[in-house]
Amino acid sequence: MTWAEKFNALQTIVIKEYLRFIRIWIQTVLPPAITTALYFVIFGNLIGSQIGDINGHRYMDYIVPGLILMAVITNSYGNVVSSFYSAKFQKSIEELLVSPTPNYLVLIGYVAGGVARGIIVGIVVTLVAMYFSDIHIHSYAISLLVFVLTATLFSIAGLINAIYANSFDDISIVPTFVLTPLTYLGGIFYSIDMLPDFWQSVSLANPILYMISSFRYGMIGSSDTDLSTAIIIIIGFTVLLFTYAMRLLNRGVGIKQ
Amino acid sequence: MHALEISNLQKTYKNGTQALKGVDLTVEEGDFFALLGSNGAGKSTTIGIISGLVNKSSGKVSIFGFDYDTHQAQAKSCIGLVPQEFNFNQFERVIEILVNQAGYYGIARKLAYQRAETYLKQLELWDKRNVMARELSGGMKRRLMIARALVHHPKLLILDEPTAGVDIEIRRSMWDFLSTINQQGTTIILTTHYLEEAESLCKNIAIIDHGCTIEHTSMKKLLSQLNTETFILYLQSPLTNTNFLLNDELSYFDIQVIDENTLEISLHEKSQLNSLFKLLTENDINISSMRNKTNRLEQLFMCLVEKNRNNSDLIETLQQTSHADNLSG
């Protein structure tokens, strides 16, 4: 395939993926906005007003970055895992497998769809957050970088989950039993400084902590971890998962007999 | 040039099933080729490997000179596949399915829409272009898969039982359409269980059984192997007696009385239908209509498959005997 043909193939996958979730925006974009609004009302206003400042920030402002990133993580992951598994289930993935589209474009296309949903949901949640809080963004560049990298990382993870999934149950196991606990324990609602030493050390093994922490730094200038370490960890995981996903696609695991 | 060249293709699935034991196949450019075999013979596995849906265990596949192992993208660009099962997104609109498929082959969206329009019109689906695929009837879904397979103008079209479950009217219109695109230069490989379909459309044929090619020749040559044909004759008036069977000349034909209005006659290739009719007429037996008892290709197919299985059983028995001898010796 020439570069122009490759571009056309990638464009096709991205448009298809974008239209897939945007057509059903009531199921894909609206729920995170409502859920986040409830978090702000309950944790931010009702309970948060009883909690003092954390690292010099109002509790409401402190939890905003974590809630935005949580929505990005769950939506980018959920988008790719459900889309790719549905394609496997309906066998429409064969349309791509018989075509000359290289596997790396298939991966980039699906991930781009996940990132697009992550970004749109992230923007919607940020708009909701701005209604409840008074945030002045500390660094647009860092916020955007962490935002996009996190969406990319979890989109790839979603694709790997879909490759291994053999039933619709399999696509909800990882989000329920791995992703949600790690996200909640990744410091959305608290600073790890508030934890005993042992649990602080345990928390540092959670990669999602670095994402939330660095995103919080970008948004409000407060972080539990070193920024450069966090960025290296996120990029490292992204490269690792990308390489692994490519290996699975090239070997045809879960998609070829 | 060979449109497709396969040598010693083997496939063993993870569960140990050896689906292909060494398939060899050559399809010439411009051919309309029938790939036949019973269920589980290895046809779909062969097609899966050619189209990139199944990983081969060993062997060589080359499409229009492009080796599948070294030039996979070029090889895939030459192929259009109509699979046995519906494999499109049921929740996509008909036109989107075609445009997306064209896109995967690197075709720009504007051109993809033009191509989609052309093929949807040719296959009488244009009115349904904005309908969700799941809302189409079975016949329409089959035609949609043909349109999708053609949207990137493949040089080799592979159809895996394209007319399965389709009514006779649509089937015949599909035959006409396929004949036309074959005449326009597209090489076609067809697998089907309707052997009259293969006989009327295809020029060359291969039969696969138990993962091996057991016949690979032209349709004409294969049909010439048939030395006996059986006809069913429908009589104008009921038989009053069967004395005519005692006639010396008629005894050369193998005649069975099915009922008072029907005869079954087996005819050797050297016998003439004219002489049979003459003799029947002389015996006051008038024929109103006749038909082949079974399709000619079907008859041959059954013979070849049965012969292959008997040979396989014989080889297996000999191997077991020799193994037993070795153990006892």
| CB B61 within 8 Å of CB B49 | yes
Give the β-pairing of B79-82 and B156-160: parallel
- B105 and A252: CB-CB below 8 Å? no
* Domain residue spans of chain B: 2-223, 228-292
pLDDT at position B295 is 66
Residues of B in contact with A87 (CB under 8 A): 89
pLDDT at residue B102, as a whole number: 96
Among all chains, which residue has been given the structure tokens 């954390």? Answer: A54
Domain assignment of residue A195, yes or no: yes
Other Cβ atoms closer than 10 A to A238 = 19
Kindly compute the dihedral angle of the four CA atoms of residues B19, B67, B97, B134, in this order, to the nearest 10 degrees. Answer: -10
Task: With CA atoms as reference, report the closest residue to A237 among A185, A195, A182.
Answer: A182
Asked if A8 and B108 come within 8 Å (Cβ–Cβ), the reply is: yes
DSSP letters, B176-224, are: HHHHHHHHTT-EEEEE-S-HHHHHHH-SEEEEEETTEEEEEEEHHHHHH
Residue type, B274: N
Higher per-residue pLDDT: A181 or B314: A181
Strand partners, B217: B205
Structure token digits, residue A163: 């490759």
Rounded to an integer, what distance in angstroms lies between the CA atom of residue B206 and that of residue B212?
10
Q: Which of B81, B89, B100 sits opposite A12 (nearest CB)?
A: B100
B328 Cβ neighbours under 8 A, 6+ residues apart: none
Interval A110-138 mean pLDDT? 91
Q: What confidence score (pLDDT) does residue B321 get?
A: 65
A127 lies in which domain range?
3-47+54-251
Which residue in B84, B104, B156 has the most chain A C-beta atoms within 10 A of its own C-beta, making it the best mutation to test that interface? B104
Q: pLDDT digits over A46-65, tens only?
A: 777 777 777 788 888 888 89
| Tally of residues, chain A | 257
Report pLDDT digits (tens) over A200-215.
788 888 889 999 999 9
Give the pLDDT confidence score for residue A16 in this predicted structure.
Answer: 95
**CA–CA dist A220, A191 (Å, integer):** 13
Whether the Cβ atoms of residue B264 and residue B256 lie closer than 8 Å to each other: yes
The pLDDT of residue B324 is 61
**pLDDT tens track for A77-86:** 999 999 999 9
Question: How many distinct structural domains can be found in chain A?
Answer: 1
Which residues, other chains included, contact A220 with Cβ-Cβ below 8 Å and sequence gap of 6+? A57, A61, A62, A64, A65, A135, A138
B9 SS3 class: strand
Give how far the C-alpha of residue A65 lies from the chain's centroid of Cα atoms, to the nearest Å.
Answer: 13
Q: Name the H helices within chain A.
A: 3-23, 25-28, 30-39, 59-89, 93-97, 103-132, 140-164, 170-174, 180-184, 197-203, 207-220, 227-251
Q: How far apart are the first and last CA of chain A?
A: 25
Rounded Cα distance, A202 and B52, in Å: 46
Q: What is the pLDDT of residues A139-174, one digit of tens each?
A: 999 999 999 999 999 999 999 999 999 988 888 888
pLDDT at position B315: 64
CB proximity under 8 Å: A 83-112 to B: 86-87, 90-92, 94-102
pTM: 0.83
In this structure, what are the phi and psi dihedrals at residue A44, rounded to the nearest 5 degrees? -75, -55
Which homologous superfamily is B2-223 in? P-loop containing nucleotide triphosphate hydrolases (3.40.50.300)
Partner-chain residue, chosen from B13, B76, B99, that has the shortest CB–CB distance to A100: B76
Is B88's CB within 8 Å of A2's CB?
no
State residue B66's pLDDT score.
Answer: 94
Which has the closest alpha carbon to A255: A155, A106, A151? A106
Those residues with Cβ within 8 angstroms of residue A193's Cβ, 6 or more apart along the chain or in another chain: A55, A200, A224
The verdict on A250 touching B (C-beta cutoff 8 Å) is no
Task: Please report, rounded to a whole number, the percentage of residues in chain B having pLDDT higher than 70.
Answer: 91
B32-36/B204-209 β-pairing: parallel
Task: Give the pLDDT band (50/70/90) at residue A115.
Answer: very high
Residue A256 lies in a domain: no
Q: Indicate whether A257 belongs to any domain.
A: no
**Residue of B48, B73, B105 lying closest to A257 (CB–CB):** B48
pLDDT, block means (10 residues), chain B with 329 residues? 91 89 92 88 91 92 93 94 91 95 95 94 92 92 93 94 81 88 93 81 88 84 72 84 72 80 79 80 85 71 72 66 60
B92 and B129 in contact (C-beta within 8 Å)? no
Alpha carbon of residue B324 to chain centroid: 41
Backbone φ and ψ of A252, nearest 5°: 75, 20
- Mean residue pLDDT across chain A: 90
So what's the architecture of B228-292 in CATH? 2-Layer Sandwich (3.30)
Q: Coil, strand, or helix at residue B7?
A: strand
**Contact assessment for residue A81 and residue A165, using Cβ atoms and an 8 Å cutoff:** yes
